[in-house]
Structure 1
């Protein structure tokens, strides 16, 4: 009888250990360290720091780990090719060490994409939608800092995003969502 109970307990314990962590195979400590040191460089503009601060202060991010449910996190991730989603995930991991890996994050909140493209969200993001989203998000978080120029924003944010998604002059939801998970 005791042997049967022990075998059952060991079986349950081994099954429990086999359940994957919500972090997948992330090393969030290293992600935090790398993102923090990469984000410190002087090539970031103040508006990007404001977006990142708003992202990491968002309770849906710090408590639930939903990066792509926060407009500030999405805007930070696409504002500059040297930030991108991996940096956003790493900086968020500094506040929530149990946050899911970048590839395991929830999908981009469709209402955020609808806000970007207008209407029901069935369209694709254009360069103008992108610019409006960055500026609109900065306004929504109360930032008084904005990109040094729209041309700089396009060259260092939009163009690398278009290059990564390889969808031409506009980016549909599925490709944008892939960018947030795999770039």
Structure 2
């Protein structure tokens, strides 16, 4: 009898410790923070607003097949997430969670769709070692995403796109002049430890 009580207590303690170590997703808080950031301290250009609107307007990105979304299977979602170090993936997930409280948090989102990545870097993506994103690939990707959604707005300048998007992305992915698929995927999923 004492053993059964001990075993059930031990089991409950292990479950509590495991739950404490597991990340939690507070989509109500994520939505609140993103709305106040997007409309407040985050200075964004009209083209970024267009990308965010296209991202949030895609049912698959926000709801997905399981009802939990697939943000990084949508070109506009990826483009707005990387267009500025101030916006980033957490703002995209936060605003998306305003539309779907069951939207997976960053760490639980499906991986970056490799077809989107291949569209950024070109045919070399399919070579055995793949290839990284260059600055020019990044610029072309943003403009391509805008063209795909029929945006009438564009970055104010290429220099601004580089200084607000590419340069912070290099730093956040711990990269020097190109960004690998793995580092970009880790960044999009909110990783703080990128190799």
| 1:80-128 deviations in Å (ceiling 9; x for gaps) | 1110000000000011110111111110000000000001521100000
Instruction: Give the equivalent residue in structure 1 for 2:86.
Output: 82
Distance 1:40 1:167 in 2: 30
Instruction: Give the equivalent residue in structure 2 for 1:110.
Output: 114
Distance 1:168 1:79 in 2: 18
Give the TM-score, by structure 1 length: 0.85
1:124 counterpart = 2:170: no
Instruction: Give the equivalent residue in structure 1 for 2:177.
Output: 169
Q: Which runs of 5+ in 2 are unaligned?
A: 1-18
1:60 counterpart = 2:68: no
Distance 2:124 2:70 in 1: 22
Instruction: Give the equivalent residue in structure 2 for 1:142.
Output: 150
Distance 2:98 2:166 in 1: 27
Q: RMSD between aligned alpha carbons?
A: 1.7
Distance 1:126 1:58 in 2: 28
How many residues align? The count is 163
Q: Which runs of 5+ in 1 are unaligned?
A: 1-19
After TM superposition, the runs of 4+ consecutive aligned structure 1 residues lying more than 6 A away are none
| 1:122-150 deviations in Å (ceiling 9; x for gaps) | 11000000000000000000001000000
Distance 2:44 2:175 in 1: 27
